[in-house]
Each structure stands twice: as C-alpha cells, then as structure tokens.
Amino acid sequence: MKKLIFHILNIIFILLYVYPGSILGFLVYGNSNQQPQITPDFIVSSNHVYVFIILSIFGFINYYKTNKILIISYLFSISIFLEVLHFVIPNRSFQFSDLFGNILGVLLAFFIMNLLNYWRKK
C-alpha cells in the first residue's frame, strides 16, 4: 500500500510539474496563471521543499533499505529534471529557487530518515 501511495504521488507531482500553468491555481483561484503559496518563500521556494519532502519520505520509506542508491539517485534526478523541463513547457519558467527547493526537500527527507533510523537502533 505504501508503495502504491509513493507511485501515485509521483504521477500526480509529475503531472503538476509538466502542466503548462498551475492546476492548483485554477482549482483554488480560478486562474491557471496564479500559483497558491503555502508559506512565504525565503531563499528557496517553500512549496517545492514541502512537495519533495513528502515525495522523498514516501520513497525512502519504501526503498531505502533495499535500493538506497537507486532511490536517492531517482529523487535527486527527478527533482532536477522536472525543474529543467520548465525551460520548454509553455507558461512555465525555470527558477533556481524552485530547483534548490526541490533539492532541499530531498536532502531534508534524507536527513529525517537517517535520524529516525538512528533513533530506532538505540
């Protein structure tokens, strides 16, 4: 069941990233050019951090023990690839703050999982 949730989240996030505009903006504001903001951005995009923490935690829960290198590689690759795609998707733009938010989300989830594993061993 947890693997299914990870794969469904993966598909949803990919669809949200490659859609030319904002599906969530359309649903919330009725305007696909406006992006909902959960919290204010700092150096990185907070929305992207939250999304990749969620996706990465589910990925790590399912694959960390069996395929550690593969899941880490996948999560970093998808975080970079999806943002780079914004160079070619209409009505989307590449932003370093989004890219760094994606990567920070993966790193934070990795840190959280390592902390949990450390505490479980004690």
Distance CA(52)–CA(61), nearest Å, equals 14
Give percent of the chain with pLDDT exceeding 90.
Answer: 56
pTM: 0.86
Domain span at 38: 2-121
- Alpha helices (H) along the chain: 2-18, 23-29, 46-63, 68-84, 96-121
The mean pLDDT value for 2-23 works out to: 88
Bigger pLDDT: 16 vs 100: 100
pLDDT in tens, 67-81: 999 999 999 999 999
pLDDT of residue 27: 74
Total domains in the fold of the chain: 1
